């Protein structure tokens, strides 16, 4: 693609939001911070803008986009039916890291939803994102602002690395808070179903609307099962090196001595083979790997810190030139499910059980 000039402004610079709004209104692309990860925004009601987003990311165009809104009332502009569960959830969790999938109105172009008859909607909890949507008057379609397949960007610097020269502007709001993408819940069927686990957990959702299912492909990835969302079939967040997750099949939520021993053994083998190797572990477990190069993922006891370090750690692996990456597994707490979902995708499901 031909390179264009990418402007980098902070949202608080005078005129920055106005300039970003002008770009969106004329069909251009602006990357902006949300509370989860940076989004790559374009006009959700314009098929041309959607096409530009796919081109800039190098993303297959059957992978649908999330539409970002700034007023809950705007759901009506996008969805042809609003089940009562949607009303309950938006009161409970918006603005915030929850995306709801609803039947779409015909005014939402197929290009935005990857040809699906449904639309994913969320109201982000980030002041710059909300100002941008409000001042531009544009409902903003935005995937995460990374090149397709790379870890999602949690800082403007990651966006610059991936998309400089490919988009019109980056609004640099610094590092974001949650750093793991939103929970996706499908409300179009008989039972509310989580398609992508995230910061808003199953328990939090069930406390508001009763039983919630988890899409079976998240629990037992089966290449023969057709995923509910096309995005679920792609490898995501992948670092350049080869990532393997090591877990104890009997105690998948614990780092048992057998797990640590296997990780050290695999690291020794990789190093002997001349491979640049790193281990992904948590602060609590670093002493298990004295002398090995480590990248730390927060504290095991506190899932939020692990989630917040994950995408950044995968980018650090690339920056360190890691060829072999060995990771512990995470399953225990509620966020453990979201963390493992991302790790498994990043690893292309390369999981070793001891």
Binding footprint of ligand TXA on the chain (CB under 6 A):
34, 36-37, 39, 63-66, 97, 99, 101, 113, 116, 118-120, 122, 124, 142-144, 181-182, 184, 195-196, 229-231
Q: Which stretch binds Mg ion (CB under 5 A): 86-94, 141-149, 157-165, 272-280?
A: 141-149
Whose CA is closest to 298, among 284, 318, 316, 277?
284
Whose CA is closest to 337, among 149, 137, 197, 183?
197
Q: Which stretch binds Mg ion (CB under 5 A): 110-118, 137-145, 156-164, 332-340?
A: 137-145
Looking at the Cβ atoms of 37 and 296, the one nearer to ligand TXA is 37
Looking at the Cβ atoms of 144 and 327, the one nearer to Mg ion is 144
Scored b (16 or more CB within 10 A) or e, 4-16 reads eebeebebeeeeb
CB of 181 to Mg ion, least distance (A): 6
Looking at the Cβ atoms of 39 and 241, the one nearer to Mg ion is 39
User: How many angstroms separate the CA atoms of 63 and 148, rounded?
Assistant: 10
Question: How crowded is residue 174: how many other Cβ atoms within 10 Å of its Cβ?
Answer: 11
β-bridge partners, 324: 242, 277
> What share of residues in the chain are helix, strand, coil (percent, to 5)?
35, 20, 45
Residue 136 as a binder of Mg ion (CB under 5 A): the answer is no
Q: Which stretch binds Mg ion (CB under 5 A): 46-54, 112-120, 140-148, 342-350?
A: 140-148
- 8 A C-beta contact, residue 313 and residue 205: no
CA distances from 249 to 69, 153, 277, 329, 347 (A): 42, 32, 24, 10, 17
Residue 144 as a binder of Mg ion (CB under 5 A): the answer is yes
Longest dimension (CA), the chain: 60
Residue 113 as a binder of Mg ion (CB under 5 A): the answer is no
CB of 198 to ligand TXA, least distance (A): 7
Residue 99 as a binder of Mg ion (CB under 5 A): the answer is no
Question: How crowded is residue 157: how many other Cβ atoms within 10 Å of its Cβ?
Answer: 14
CB of 73 to ligand TXA, least distance (A): 19
CB of 337 to ligand TXA, least distance (A): 15
Looking at the Cβ atoms of 162 and 247, the one nearer to ligand TXA is 162
Could you give the count of Cα atoms lying within 13 Å of 258 in the half-sphere of its Cβ?
Answer: 10
Residue 277 as a binder of Mg ion (CB under 5 A): the answer is no
Decide which of Mg ion, ligand TXA, none touches 277; Cβ closer than 5 to 8 Å per partner kind. Answer: none
Site for Mg ion in 169-188 (CB under 5 A): none
Q: Which stretch binds Mg ion (CB under 5 A): 42-50, 138-146, 199-207, 258-266?
A: 138-146
Looking at the Cβ atoms of 181 and 288, the one nearer to ligand TXA is 181
What φ, ψ does residue 184 adopt, rounded to 5°? -110, 125
Looking at the Cβ atoms of 144 and 329, the one nearer to Mg ion is 144
**Contact positions vs Mg ion (CB under 5 A):** 144
């Amino acid at each position: 693609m031909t390179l264009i000039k990418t402007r980098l402004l902070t949202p608080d610079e005078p005129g920055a939001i106005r300039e970003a709004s002008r770009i969106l209104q004329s069909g251009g692309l602006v990357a902006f911070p949300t509370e989860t990860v940076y989004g790559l925004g374009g006009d959700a009601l314009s098929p041309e803008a959607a096409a530009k987003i796919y081109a800039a990311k190098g993303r297959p165009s059957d992978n649908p986009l999330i539409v970002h809104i700034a007023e809950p009332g705007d759901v009506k502009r996008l969805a042809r039916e609003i089940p009562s569960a949607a009303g309950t959830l938006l009161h409970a969790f918006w603005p915030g890291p929850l995306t709801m999938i609803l039947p779409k109105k015909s005014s939402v172009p197929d290009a935005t939803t990857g040809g699906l008859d449904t639309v994913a909607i969320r109201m982000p909890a980030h002041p710059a994102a909300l100002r941008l949507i409000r001042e531009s008057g544009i409902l903003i379609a935005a995937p995460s602002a990374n090149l397709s397949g790379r870890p999602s960007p949690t800082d403007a610097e990651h966006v610059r690395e991936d998309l400089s020269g490919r988009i019109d502007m980056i609004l640099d709001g610094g590092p974001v808070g949650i750093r793991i993408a939103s929970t996706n819940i499908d409300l179009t069927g008989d039972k509310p179903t989580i398609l992508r686990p995230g910061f808003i957990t199953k328990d939090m959702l069930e406390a508001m609307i009763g039983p919630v299912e988890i899409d079976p492909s998240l629990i037992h990835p089966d290449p023969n099962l057709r995923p509910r969302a096309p995005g679920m079939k792609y490898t995501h967040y992948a670092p350049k090196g080869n990532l393997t997750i090591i877990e104890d099949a009997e105690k998948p939520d614990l780092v048992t001595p057998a797990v640590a021993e296997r990780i050290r053994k695999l690291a020794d083998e990789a190093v002997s083979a001349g491979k640049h190797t790193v281990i992904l572990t948590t602060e609590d477990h670093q002493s298990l790997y004295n002398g090995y190069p480590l990248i730390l993922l927060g504290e095991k006891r506190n899932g939020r810190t692990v989630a917040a370090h994950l995408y950044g750690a995968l980018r650090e692996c690339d920056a360190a030139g890691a060829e072999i990456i060995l990771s512990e597994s995470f399953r225990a707490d509620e966020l453990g499910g979201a963390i493992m979902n991302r790790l498994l995708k990043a690893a292309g499901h390369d999981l070793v059980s001891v």
